[in-house]
């Protein structure tokens, strides 16, 4: 099966109120450790030096934060279970797939929902992203399958006894503007994140972890499992007609924004990565200790990260890296970081600073990093002209039409056709 690329539908200062500087060219709140110091303390001055140290940086984040990715990939099969050539008012082809990951006798099934625009000159670039409440929530279409895997109880989405309900059809459509994405010439693919791995502290016994066996399951955090699953969904997209395998972007909001960054760092086939309101453990600098901190996130969600990461709670200054290093792992491919002005829990300024201080990795490669040298003074401001994009949207922790407009504009700037 031919592998495919799809756009997937995840600075530090120790001061609590860092000083802001806009002088001396590209300066802002200091980042620790400085990106171009390199992880071994030897300065990085060329793209070749960056490319040489990148694998060691990736291993460092895997060891200390997300857990090591399995060295052996799963076998992947994709079976189409439904297709409609006249979806979205005739403007798109909708298909639904059961993607099976297997290792020996162990198997895992993931429902993948795909929309491909019918009006196109050739294969379409795509967004690939995981969703929180099931594929059926992104559109009211009654043909979309309802997940049968574990889901956290939620009265707002009619989830009872840890099972999704068809009554929630279309309730997250605002976060997934299918019509707008299709009309701009992009495909969209999404899967329920719980199909890959359940989002609770289960001792790493279920979902994708169950395929790894006792040794592998103990080293990979749940964010790492979601990211590893996304890489395999790219393989499955090779069965979908009409998608450009070289222009697939990975998208995620909140904890799935953290996942999108880690998926993009580990999977070089992703065209670019979008992190929306990802906050602590995602795009926000840990050393700032603003909003959600490492101590809080690890107390509430200990399963997201490797067990070694627990020791940095309330000891952020001991980290041998910060989140600008995570973002920099996308270089020289593009990356986009999005914040919301009222989302203090995700530390918008910290997200901006991480993107800012990751930018030298692109500049070493002769590309423009983040445009602008200061945090936006007013909301609804986008800095998307370079290979590193950023915007500050007015409002709360969410994904809106304004966000998607900026993501699509950024994709337009970087698409090859």
Residues with catalytic roles: 254, 397
Q: Which residues pair with 113 in a beta bridge?
A: 96, 190
Residue 63 contacts by C-beta under 8 Å, 6 or more apart in sequence? 306, 308
Cis peptide before 33 (omega within 30 of 0): yes
Query: Using an 8 Å Cβ cutoff, are 91 and 150 in contact?
Result: no
CA atoms within 13 A on the CB side of 216: 18
Is 260 strand, coil or helix? helix
**Burial of residue 26 (number of CB atoms within 10 Å: 0-12, 13-18, 19+):** middle
> How does DSSP assign 140-171, residue by residue?
--TTSPPP-S----BGGGTBBTTB--GGGTTT
What's 73's DSSP letter? P
């Amino acid at each position: 099966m031919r592998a495919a690329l799809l756009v997937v539908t995840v600075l530090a200062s120790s001061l609590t109120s860092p000083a802001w500087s806009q002088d001396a060219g590209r300066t802002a709140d200091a980042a620790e450790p400085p990106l171009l110091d390199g992880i071994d303390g030897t300065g990085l001055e060329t793209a070749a030096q960056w490319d040489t140290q990148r694998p060691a940086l990736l291993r460092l984040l895997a060891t200390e934060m997300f857990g090591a990715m399995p060295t052996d990939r799963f076998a992947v099969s994709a079976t189409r279970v439904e297709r409609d050539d006249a979806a979205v008012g005739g403007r798109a082809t909708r298909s639904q797939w059961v993607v099976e990951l297997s290792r020996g006798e162990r198997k895992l099934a993931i429902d993948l929902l795909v929309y491909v625009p019918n009006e196109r000159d050739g294969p379409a670039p795509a967004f690939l992203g995981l969703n929180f409440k099931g594929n059926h929530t992104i559109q009211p279409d009654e043909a979309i399958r309802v997940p049968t895997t574990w889901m956290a109880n939620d009265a707002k989405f009619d989830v009872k006894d840890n099972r999704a309900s068809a009554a929630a059809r279309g309730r997250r459509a605002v976060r997934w503007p299918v019509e707008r994405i299709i009309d701009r010439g992009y495909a969209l693919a999404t899967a329920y994140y719980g199909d890959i791995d359940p989002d609770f502290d289960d001792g790493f016994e279920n979902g994708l972890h169950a395929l790894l066996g006792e040794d592998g399951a103990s080293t990979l955090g749940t964010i790492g499992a979601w990211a590893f699953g996304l890489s395999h969904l790219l393989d499955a997209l090779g069965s979908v007609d009409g998608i450009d395998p070289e222009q697939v972007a990975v998208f995620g909001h909140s904890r799935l924004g953290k996942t999108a960054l880690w998926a993009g760092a580990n999977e070089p086939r992703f065209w670019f990565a979008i992190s929306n309101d990802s906050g602590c453990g995602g795009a926000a600098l840990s050393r700032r200790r603003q909003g959600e901190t490492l101590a809080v996130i690890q107390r509430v969600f200990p399963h997201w990260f490797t067990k070694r990461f627990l020791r940095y709670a309330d000891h952020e200054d001991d980290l041998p890296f910060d989140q600008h290093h995570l973002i920099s792992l996308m270089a020289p491919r593009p990356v986009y970081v999005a914040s919301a002005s009222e989302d203090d829990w995700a530390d918008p300024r910290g997200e901006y600073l991480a993107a800012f201080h990751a930018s030298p990795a692109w500049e070493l490669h002769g590309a423009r990093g983040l445009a602008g040298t200061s945090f936006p003074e007013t909301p609804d401001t986008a800095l998307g002209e370079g290979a590193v994009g950023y915007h500050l949207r007015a409002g709360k922790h969410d994904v809106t039409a304004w966000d998607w407009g900026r993501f699509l504009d950024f994709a337009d700037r970087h698409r090859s056709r």
